[in-house]
Amino acid sequence: MELGTETEAKIIQAATEVFLEKGKDGARMQEIAGRANINKALLHYYFRSKDKLYEKVFREKVFRFLDELFSSVPQTDDIKIVLKEFTANYIDLISSHPELVRFILWEIRRGGQYMSDALRDIFAKHGFTKFPFLEKVQNAISEGTIRPLDPLHLIISVIGICVYPFIAQPLLENAIPGIQISSEGFLQKRKEEVFNLIWEGIQP
Amino acid sequence: MELGTETEAKIIQAATEVFLEKGKDGARMQEIAGRANINKALLHYYFRSKDKLYEKVFREKVFRFLDELFSSVPQTDDIKIVLKEFTANYIDLISSHPELVRFILWEIRRGGQYMSDALRDIFAKHGFTKFPFLEKVQNAISEGTIRPLDPLHLIISVIGICVYPFIAQPLLENAIPGIQISSEGFLQKRKEEVFNLIWEGIQP
DNA sequence: GTCTATACATCGATAGAC
DNA sequence: GTCTATCGATGTATAGAC
């Protein structure tokens, strides 16, 4: 388990920037080398190919993101607190890594294999056998805290509600004058509206 | 206003396929020519460059999609019917073009200019001055049919809920064994769960 | 309009000096 | 480890015969 050299770190840094901006196919090894202030040959010395470099960058970025995401699932069994905190944390997390959304979208469009692998790794690391959410929702239904519903669909909806504004960010900011998705004001309001909609939507 | 030749249609068809599969940068003119059963030279005869061809394909595809989407907003003022029909229609529409959705979203994260242009054109064509939804929601709030909330956030949430399963489709189908996003069973269930969550979520 | 042949640039990747 | 130089493949685009 090495820490990696300084040059390696510079390459990863530069590669991340370029891959995020241009996508895998649009990215050029020349540009990555340029931003890292080295030459192309050195890129291939450290990482064997463009594919390997991309995989390394993607895995690292996404793994950290998912790790942070799943660490933000509250420990309590109180479904109201779980939902409130998770949505707020999730929105905060995404808003502080807006570029990453594009990266992940790109990868999913390509088939989503890396993402699935990363998810599996995260599950293994945290010892999950299923979405940590799922069980809490099922329990809440059994106890009658929330109305009967399909937990899987609820989770999909919650994630969709949280993540969509950031996916559509350029479009929304272009189509709706004055809106600023990443502004503190919008995020604050968004968290309230999201939680209210979901919470009211699942009352018995 | 010509109808275009048969060859032109073949090219558009092939180009659409390849661009959707590989993205703009990943697409190769050679492959497009191959699928259209012509040679590369003819591509440049009909469309001057790869850029022009891409723009043409994207604009056409997206315009039709948005046109269909906005045509599916029900005419009635009954907010319950509006929501029920719109979500159902929207989910149906997306499920019949899942690759297009992922493509559009990726394109949006690239800057979204084409999309914004297309949106503006659609608004102009239908004579909208704002989201047709917005006014209906505002009226429903004034009449007390639904609780006070921010209409803009509601719309964002509704769209997010509908579209997200298809964005994450490859990931979901990989991570959750047995799930089939585009299957009739899932879609049917999805429509019910989505409407229930939203409708219950906005009750006074 | 459609083809073959080819120009020209750029890509990822490698060889070899230091 | 780091560089220059360059390879072979492939990309977009064009010239010119038919």
Residue B89 pLDDT: 97
**Which carries the bigger pLDDT value, residue B157 or residue A130?**
B157
Question: Which A residues between 173 and 192 have a beta carbon under 7 A from any strand D atom?
Answer: none
Residue A93 pLDDT: 97
**Banded model confidence at residue B1, pLDDT cuts 50, 70, 90:** very low
**Banded model confidence at residue B2, pLDDT cuts 50, 70, 90:** very low
Lowest mean pLDDT across A2-6, B44-48, B124-128: A2-6
Contact, B50 CB vs strand D, < 7 Å: yes
Contacts of A199 in chain B (CB under 8 A): 201
What is the residue-wise DSSP string for chain A?
Answer: -----HHHHHHHHHHHHHHHHHHHHH--HHHHHHHTTS-HHHHHHHSSSHHHHHHHHHHHHHHHHHHHHHHTS-S---HHHHHHHHHHHHHHHHHT-HHHHHHHHHHHHTTSHHHHHHHHHHHHHHT-SS-HHHHHHHHHHHHTSS----HHHHHHHHHHHHHHHHHSHHHHHHHSTT--TTSHHHHHHHHHHHHHHHHHHT--
- Average pLDDT, whole number, for chain B? 93
**Banded model confidence at residue B70, pLDDT cuts 50, 70, 90:** confident
Contact, A49 CB vs strand C, < 7 Å: yes
Predicted TM-score (pTM) above 0.75: yes
Q: Is B112 on the interface with A (CB under 8 A)?
A: yes
pLDDT digits (tens, 9 = 90+) for B86-124: 999 999 999 999 999 998 988 888 887 888 889 899 999
pLDDT along chain A (204 residues), means of 10: 77 97 96 98 98 96 93 91 97 94 90 91 91 92 98 98 96 91 98 98 98
Residue B4 pLDDT: 66
